[in-house]
Amino acid sequence: MVFSADSKVLVQGITNSLGRVYTPLMLTYGTSILAGVDPGAGGDTVAGVPVFDLVSQALDAVGDVDVSIIVTAPYAALDAALEAIAAGIRQIVMVTDSVPPLDMVRLLRKANATDTLVIGPNSPGVIVPGQVLLGTHPAEFYAPGNVGLISRSGSLTYEVALQLTKAGIGQSIAVGIGGDRIVGSSFQQWLQILDEDDRTDAIVLVGEIGGDSEEVAARYIAEAIDKPVIAYLAGRTAPKGQQMGHAGAIIASQFGDGGKELGTVESKLAAFEAAGVPVGDRPSAIPHLVRQVLQSQNCQKKSTN
């Protein structure tokens, strides 16, 4: 797994409102936050965490850091991320939303060149239940277990996690890949990570209307993923052509030769069906589908032993 209880964490933008609210919550969960960075706020503390003006100063004081959580203003996010990469940090969680698209293009070029994992922007971050909280997930909704959860949404991630927890199904990790137009790590990247993760037996993918992320993920599942995947799709009842918050515009491109508009509910459902991925019609349906695939998986294992 990429993140664990041993992950050492830095918070960039720690003295702003998001940083001051969520740093104590992450610390309470057990996250090892060693330092914060905010230019001009060096010498301050937030929930007992020392604040420095520069990332290099923070690392000189506390040693190596594995993860940077960025909660800066949108137009400061690029500089913050590039500063973290320059300091050798290779895992970046961008909670900040509305980062300028061209800034993200520049950041992702640098991230690709340095093998840096970027999550977000506009992401609730990552939680490994019982181990580490990196972002804004409401920790009380989660429980340790063997189901990986990856999502484009924030609140729907929490809702699906809560439904699983109430049903007695814990989670190995929950990742919000981000809701901005251009994001770092993709569904495909996390599907591969979870497919190779020994602690994850099944994967839940939470998608939305707009864009083609779900269609691309469905094709990748069919071609490369061995573990069972269950999906939930938000926006089924939205009027045709309706903007849905950060899900963005429903674009009018054609999906293959099927005549279905890319980004629509119909296109995404057809893609999941073609990939053999069961889709829940509501969050409360997800636990039943997860139980079905896990039971089927256990039966297959017994038959081969």
Note if 246 is an active site residue: yes
Residue 126 covered by a domain: no
Within a 13 Å sphere around the CA of 29, how many CA atoms are in the beta-carbon half? 29
Question: Do 177 and 267 reside in the same domain of the chain?
Answer: yes
| Rounded Cα gap, residues 104 and 119, in angstroms | 11
Residue 202 covered by a domain: yes
Question: Do 107 and 173 reside in the same domain of the chain?
Answer: no
Among 88, 103, 95, 90, CA closest to 12: 95
Q: Provide the pLDDT for residue 218.
A: 96
pTM of structure:
0.90
SS3 category, 289: helix
DSSP β-bridge partners for residue 260? 255
Active-site entry in 90, 106, 110, 246: 246
Question: Do 71 and 105 reside in the same domain of the chain?
Answer: yes
Q: Based on DSSP, count helices (H) and strands (E) in the chain, helices before strands.
A: 9, 16
Residue 305 has pLDDT above 70, yes or no: no
Q: Count up the domains in the chain and report the number.
A: 2
Question: Do 107 and 254 reside in the same domain of the chain?
Answer: no
Q: Which stretch of 12-26, 103-117, 258-272 has the lowest confidence by average pLDDT?
A: 258-272
pLDDT digits (tens, 9 = 90+) for 236-252: 666 565 544 443 433 33
Q: Which stretch of 39-43, 47-51, 92-96, 178-182 has the lowest confidence by average pLDDT?
A: 178-182
Residue 131 covered by a domain: no
CB 177 within 8 A of CB 119: yes
| Rounded Cα gap, residues 234 and 74, in angstroms | 26
Question: Do 23 and 82 reside in the same domain of the chain?
Answer: yes
Residue 45 belongs to domain with CATH number: 3.40.50.720
pLDDT bin (cut points 50, 70, 90) of residue 143 is: very high
Residue 300 covered by a domain: yes
Question: Do 233 and 147 reside in the same domain of the chain?
Answer: yes
Domain that holds residue 46: 8-119
**Dihedral sign, Cα of residue 167, residue 171, residue 177, residue 178:** positive
Residue that finishes a domain, picked among 119, 153, 174: 119
| Rounded Cα gap, residues 52 and 14, in angstroms | 10
Among 66, 74, 70, 26, CA closest to 46: 26
Residue 76 covered by a domain: yes
Question: Do 162 and 65 reside in the same domain of the chain?
Answer: no
pLDDT bin (cut points 50, 70, 90) of residue 234 is: confident
Residue that finishes a domain, picked among 91, 119, 147: 119
Residue 124 covered by a domain: no
Question: Do 42 and 163 reside in the same domain of the chain?
Answer: no
Residue 256 has pLDDT above 70, yes or no: no
Question: Do 204 and 151 reside in the same domain of the chain?
Answer: yes
Residue 151 belongs to domain with CATH number: 3.40.50.261
Question: Do 12 and 148 reside in the same domain of the chain?
Answer: no
